[in-house]
Structure 1
């Protein structure tokens, strides 16, 4: 992951936005004044991460298990 300073990111933000969208590689933004860091990612990459978090959530997994169990139950009755 490429790392750039806050000042450089601020001065060249448009270029870095194009870069994360074209190359699909995030950019780490650092600051000398603070220990805090941030990551610049494309909207598509962000959406993908949010979707993965949702798909893997306990609530969603429980719904998938229930649906699978229901399908198996109906499938067994169909083949009986």
Structure 2
């Protein structure tokens, strides 16, 4: 993860936004006050992180995932045909 000062980020905003989107790597924007620093990230990465946090915080869903992992590890998994969005 790269770091850039606020003033440099502001001067080169378009280039930094393009770099974050192209590289899919977050960028730390620092200020004179460390508590005011921010992280700039690609929206797709942000959405994926939000989804992951939602799944991890959903205890019922995590229990189902763990149960499926356990079944798969014990060779009790069953292959099936995937459904498409319209089914």
TM-score normalised by L of structure 1: 0.71
Unpaired runs of 5+ in structure 2?
68-87
Distance 2:46 2:3 in 1: 18
CA RMSD of superposed structures (Å):
1.8
* Residue 62 of structure 1: how far off its partner (Å): 2.0
Higher helix fraction (1 or 2): 1
Aligned pair count reads 65
Q: Could you say which structure has the greater relative contact order, defined with CA pairs below 8 angstroms and 6 or more residues apart?
A: 1
2:30 — aligned with what? 30
Runs of 4+ that moved beyond 6 A: none
- Provide TM-score, normalisation by structure 2: 0.66
Alpha-carbon deviation of 1:9?
0.7
The structure having more radius of gyration, on CA atoms, is 1
